[in-house]
Amino acid sequence: MNTPDYKNSKLPFNTRVKDLISRMTLEEKASQLLFNSPAIERLDIPEYNWWNECLHGIARGGKATVYPQAIGLAATFDRELIQEIASAISEEARAKYHDAVRKGRREQYQGLTFWTPNVNIFRDPRWGRGQETYGEDPYLTAEIGTRFVRGLQQTSGPYMKAAACAKHFAVHSGPEGKRHGFDAIASAHDMAETYLPAFKKLVEEDVESVMGAYNRTNGEVCCGSPTLLKKILREEWGFKGHVVSDCWAIRDFHEEHKVTERPEESVALALNNGCDINCGCTYEYILKAHAEGLITEEQIEESLERALMTRMKLGMFNSPEEDPFYTDSVDSINCREFRSLSRKAAAESFVLLKNNGILPVQREQYKKMLITGPTAADLEALMGNYNGLSGNMTTLLEGLFQEFDDGMQIEYRTGSFLAHTKSNDLDWAAFEAEKSDIIIACMGLTQMIEGEEGDALASSTSGDRMDLRLPESQRVFLEKLLHTGKPVVLLVTGGSPVDLRDYADRCAAMLWLWYPGEEGGLALGDVLSGRISPAGKLPITFPLSTDDLPPFEDYSMKGRTYKYMEKTPQYPFGFGLSYSPCLLDSASASRNSIKEGESLEVSVMVKNRGSYDTDEVVQLYISKEVEGEDLPRQELIDFERISLKAGEEKQMNFSLSPEAFRYFDSRGASSYGKGHCTITAGTASPGKRGEELGASYSGVSVTME
């Protein structure tokens, strides 16, 4: 019996895909555009569920290594680390996938198509899902996202280890409670400069899939938008992969957006504009839409061809011996190597906001330590949303106890509830605080408070945060601790900014932990003990309060992020201290003028002035002045995380492409204008507030001719 072409691994993928489609009935073709594609037994095609997640480790699919939440990964500013983590995730993905297939399991969260990364711009700190992003800056988001895709989609010949997905295309960042019917209005300028660049960069990196957003953008539903899906994604950018809808987003066309009247019309709007896979139930109406003449069989085949091409690249129609990534071992799943990688990532992500010298903890100075607060022993504080699980989770309390239970008396009391205001007149935690020499207060947020609509159970605003302060119960308790007069080290978990103004001058130290993953407690021990100096940087501006923000539903970038914000921030984008301050000096450029199309070399000296070995993130910003143009105050154009021994000095060299000197005009067109620019190397984004907090800067001026 001859092997059909679609099973012949020696043939090109497109030949195999076309052969398979030619053997399928219309009903079978339509069935394969559902996210839970059924088996076609007569063709020996197994069922396949397209829905899997790996935002910061494989999620919702059993045991897997849990890395820091995405916003924490961005805080590392470490491209190589992100790629290494994504590569490790793909290794676990293959092990879990092949093990499931051997056991006859092909359920949701067991496939190789991962709906990650989320490269939406965290434009407003109130958005509950901002924790899933890489922050507020398009350049940083693109750089981190690109490395994640590269690590996840590593190849062997024509085959791909796992498939990544850029989501949610394209203008999507809350409010969560209105996402199913909301219209995000964005100017051509903001689209080109802010909302589209990361997606474009990932398409250039050959990301396999793009997911549309729930909302409308400029009047068009994102999962059926001719502008986004056809004109920009396919025609202008040349995207060749498949598009998937967000889950049940196409049903929203007729039920929420009211741009169609029936499911059949919603099918036609989505499919005709290039949405290939439907996560949801609406593509169950494909045959009815076809019978009504709303879609053609050729359009169905076009989407199916793109979808099957992905499965071909993943080796799903090959025998195990033909699959370069096949493994019959599950030993890599949550192995020691990957747990160590998670621990390293957590330590790199921590952002030191304040230190009066109390950190690292000199254990010989203290006889008794109180560890307290609602997040100290809370597993939720480690994970963030879209999380996996493992049997090796180490809470903040456990990590601190393991680190300091050596001649020091350690007491633990919860002290307060996470969110609600119920109190107890008999407060043992405050009593213990009075007797302690040092207080480690673990406060902040969990996915119970912030996150996606429906997940944040303690939120009355669908996971968004209209108040940036700590929950009232925590504020009351923290005041009690501060009133003892004992030194308080405040450790804060969370994926979005918190108003800490009332505590910045009174706490001895403040360390931002994000959601640090399964090794978070151990990484915390590494940092508080001084084995590792914290060097994470904020990938989002911390405003003073919501009063300094434009309306949440306003998608204009005016007044938002470090690029356009005129108000003084609480903590600027890119900020983060270390145990050893680093000085930037002697910035210079290869020449003092530049013409359109030319590149430029910039160098700066970096010196560790302290007594601890430390990492530092050297950030490069540009401020352009072109007559008649309203340009960003500044924008990140490069960065590098480096390691410095105590007292060590290094020269950093950056090569700036011609693109760094261009800007987007009001029409969204890339332009070059004559004028001046200042290139600033900094340990935070430039500004008076950064200087006040101890950031170091060195700059150079260049004329654009």
Q: What is the DSSP track for 45-89?
A: BPPEE--B--BTB--SSSB---PPPHHHHHHTT-HHHHHHHHHHH
The predicted model gives 406-432 an average pLDDT of 83
- Are 171 and 271 members of one domain? yes
Question: Which structure tokens are listed for 550?
Answer: 């434009």
533 and 646 share one domain: no
10 Å Cβ neighbour count for 80? 11
Instruction: Tell me what the mean pLDDT of segment 15-24 comes to.
Output: 98
The reply to whether 172 and 214 lie within a common domain is yes
Peptide bond into 175 cis (omega under 30): yes
User: What's the mean pLDDT in 667-685?
Assistant: 97
pLDDT, position 428: 84
CA–CA separation, 402 vs 45, rounded Å? 51
Cα separation, 467 vs 553, whole angstroms: 16
Tell whether 573 is covered by a domain: no
Coil/strand/helix, residue 135 = coil
Query: Which H/E stretch holds residue 96?
Result: helix 79-102
List Cβ neighbours of 93 (8 Å cut-off, separation of 6 or more). 52, 54, 58, 112, 114, 152, 161, 162
Q: Are residues 495 and 628 in the same domain?
A: no
Torsion angles phi and psi, residue 280, rounded to 5: 145, -155
Query: In this structure, what CATH number is given to the domain that contains residue 422?
Result: 3.40.50.1700
Strand partners, 156: 159
Domain final residue, candidates 514, 535, 564: 564
> pLDDT tier at 1 (50, 70, 90 boundaries)?
low
Query: What span, in angstroms and rounded, lies between the C-alpha atoms of 17 and 308?
Result: 6
Pair 442, 434: CB distance under 8 Å: no
Among 564, 593, 608, give the residue marking a domain's end.
564
pLDDT for residue 425 is more than 60: no
CB atoms within 10 A of CB 29: 21
Place 2 in a pLDDT band, splitting at 50, 70 and 90: confident
Residue 591 domain boundaries = 582-704
279 within some domain:
yes
Rounded mean pLDDT, 424-452: 90
- Residues whose CB falls within 8 Å of the CB of residue 515, separated by 6 or more in sequence, listed in order: 68, 69, 72, 131, 381, 382, 383, 384, 387, 446, 447, 493, 494, 495
CATH of the domain at 657: 2.60.40.10
- How much of the chain exceeds pLDDT 70, in percent? 99
Q: Which of 536, 564, 592 is the last residue of a domain?
A: 564
230 & 104 share domain: yes
- Rounded to 5 degrees, what are φ and ψ at 453? -50, 125
* pLDDT, average across residues 443-458: 95
Please check whether residues 351 and 281 belong to one and the same domain. Answer: no
- The total domain count for the chain is 3
In terms of Cα–Cα distance, which of 148, 132, 172, 144 is closest to 384? 132
Give the CATH number, domain containing residue 73.
3.20.20.300
d(CA 696, CA 383): 33
Q: How far is CA 454 from the centre of its chain?
A: 20
Separation of alpha carbons 497 and 494, rounded Å: 8
Q: What is the mean pLDDT of the segment spanning 210-216?
A: 98
The residue among 573, 620, 595 whose CA lies nearest residue 702 is 595
Q: Mean pLDDT throughout 609-629?
A: 97
CB atoms within 10 A of CB 597: 10
pLDDT of residue 421: 67
Same-domain pairing of 30 and 151:
yes
pLDDT for the residue numbered 407:
76
**Cα dihedral sign, 309-313-314-320:** positive
Q: What is the DSSP string of 327-364?
A: -S--TTTT-HHHHHHHHHHHHHH-EEEEESS--S--GG
Catalytic status, residue 246: yes
Q: Give the Å distances, CA to CA, from 696 to 619, 692, 702.
A: 10, 10, 20
One domain, residues 71 and 20: yes
Confidence tier at 420 by pLDDT (50, 70, 90): confident
Residue 104 lies in a domain: yes
Determine the average pLDDT of the residues in 564-585.
97
- Of 269-273, 396-400, 425-429, 646-650, the least confident: 425-429
DSSP E strands, 113-228: 155-156, 159-160, 165-169, 183-184, 209-212, 216-217, 220-221
Return the SS3 of 463. Answer: coil
Question: Taking Cα atoms as reference points, which of 416, 419, 374 lies closest to residue 397?
Answer: 374
Q: Which H/E stretch holds residue 29?
A: helix 26-31
Q: Are residues 559 and 597 in the same domain?
A: no
Asked if residue 231 and residue 133 are part of one domain, the reply reads: yes
Which DSSP string corresponds to 410-428? EEEE--S-SSS----SS-H
Mean pLDDT value across residues 60-70: 97
In the predicted structure, residue 64 carries a pLDDT above the cut 90: yes
Whether 571 maps to a domain, the answer reads no
For residues 337 and 182, is the Cβ–Cβ distance under 8 A? no
149 within domain boundaries: yes
**511 falls within a domain:** yes
Please check the confidence at residue 422 and state whether its pLDDT lies above 90.
no
Residue 674: which residues within 8 A CB-CB, separation 6 or more? Answer: 626, 627, 704, 705
In the predicted structure, residue 509 carries a pLDDT above the cut 60: yes
Q: To the nearest whole number, what is the mean pLDDT of the chain?
A: 97
In tens, the pLDDT along 467-482 reads: 999 999 999 999 999 9
Phi, psi (rounded to 5 degrees) for 115: -90, 70
Characterize the bridge pairing of strands 368-372 and 409-413: parallel
301 and 400 housed in the same domain: no
Q: Rounded to the nearest 10 degrees, what angle do helices 13-22 and 297-313 cross at?
A: 130
Q: 329 in a domain, yes or no?
A: no
Q: Kindly report, residue by residue over 384-404, the tens digit of the pLDDT.
A: 999 999 999 999 999 999 999
Question: If 0-12 CB within 10 Å is exposed, 13-18 middle and 19+ buried, where does residue 238 land?
Answer: exposed
Distances from the Cα of 432 to the Cα of 361, 377, 410, 429, angstroms: 19, 17, 10, 5
Do 504 and 462 lie in a common domain? Answer: yes
Return the number of other C-beta atoms located less than 10 Å from residue 484's C-beta: 17
- Does residue 577 sit within a domain? no
**Active-site position among 124, 137, 190, 246:** 246
DSSP of 314-332: TTTTS-GGG-TT--S--TT
pLDDT at 427: 76
